[in-house]
Amino acid sequence: MSFTIAIDGPAAAGKGTISRAVAAHFGFAHLDTGLLYRAVGAEMLAGTEPVAAARALRAEDLDAAALRSPEVAQAASKVAAIGDVRAALVDFQRAFAARAGGAVLDGRDIGTVICPDAAAKLFVTASAEVRAERRYRELLEAGADTNFAAVLADVRERDARDMGRVDAPLRAAADAVELDTSAMDIDEAVAAAIAVVETAMERGTG
């Protein structure tokens, strides 16, 4: 069975955690497409031309712990605005989405560009302040030297760049179900996402 779930949303909205939980619940494969751009961004920081890095990307390049640093996150957002980088990564993502056994992909343009025909689509969001607070706590736990104002400014900067880019801007697909996690804990958010997918499954077999 091939059943694709597309989960989009801005930084720190919870889409990654929700996507992993949804994939585990249904026994589907999961791809955090942001890691593709982080891997390219990391290569750019190391001096590699972004388009060349995207074209040479391999699945094993997505496992590096260094891809989770704030510097790489910013670089990822910058390379994601390059049309040729996005084009180079489309086939990788679509092949993953079409795999037998079902797949969950999370990112910023899955439901609108990569998998417009996905069987289930969610747009996970939260207020900028809530997302910044989540990211701030993560950074403090990781021992980072930062402050809330800087993290909030970073979140808003990424939102503006992701939503304002010409190629595949961040937006909800017209047929996506919006899930605002601002006032939800993770268990509530995961349960809500699973309910959306189950409804889509019932619709597909009804």
Per-residue pLDDT tens digits for 43-81? 999 999 999 999 999 888 887 677 888 889 889 989 988
Q: Is the pLDDT of residue 144 over 90?
A: no
Ligand-binding site membership of 17 (annotated): yes
Task: Report residue 54 CA to chain centroid gap.
Answer: 17
Angle 180-184-188 (CA atoms, 0-180°, nearest 5)? 105
Q: Is the pLDDT of residue 189 over 80?
A: yes
- CATH of segment(s) 4-190: 3.40.50.300
* Residue from 124, 152, 121, 112 nearest 136 by CA: 152
Ligand-binding site membership of 14 (annotated): yes
User: Residue 104 pairs with which residues in a beta bridge?
Assistant: 5, 30
The Cα–Cα gap between 31 and 75 comes to 20
Contact present, 117 and 174 (Cβ < 8 Å) = no
The overall average pLDDT reported for the chain is 93
- Of 78-82, 185-189, 202-206, least confident by mean pLDDT is 202-206
- The whole-model pTM stands at 0.87
User: Residue 120 pairs with which residues in a beta bridge?
Assistant: 5
Listed in sequence order, the residues at least 6 apart from 30 whose beta carbon sits closer than 8 Å to its beta carbon are 19, 20, 23, 24, 103, 104, 105, 106
pLDDT tens profile 82-101: 999 999 999 889 999 999 99
105 against 81, higher pLDDT: 105
pLDDT in the model for residue 205:
64
Token reading at 134: 């989540």
Ligand-binding site membership of 80 (annotated): no
Ligand-binding site membership of 132 (annotated): no
Percent of the chain whose predicted confidence (pLDDT) is above 70: 98
The Cα–Cα gap between 193 and 199 comes to 10
Token reading at 108: 């910023």
pLDDT in the model for residue 1:
63
Ligand-binding site membership of 15 (annotated): yes
Ligand-binding site membership of 11 (annotated): yes
Ligand-binding site membership of 78 (annotated): no
Taking only Cα atoms into account, the Rg of the chain, rounded to an integer number of angstroms, comes to 16
- Of 67-71, 123-127, 185-189, least confident by mean pLDDT is 67-71
Q: In what order do the strands lie in the sheet with 29-32?
A: 29-32, 103-107, 4-8, 120-125, 177-180
The Cα–Cα gap between 54 and 51 comes to 5
Residue 147 identity (one-letter amino acid): N
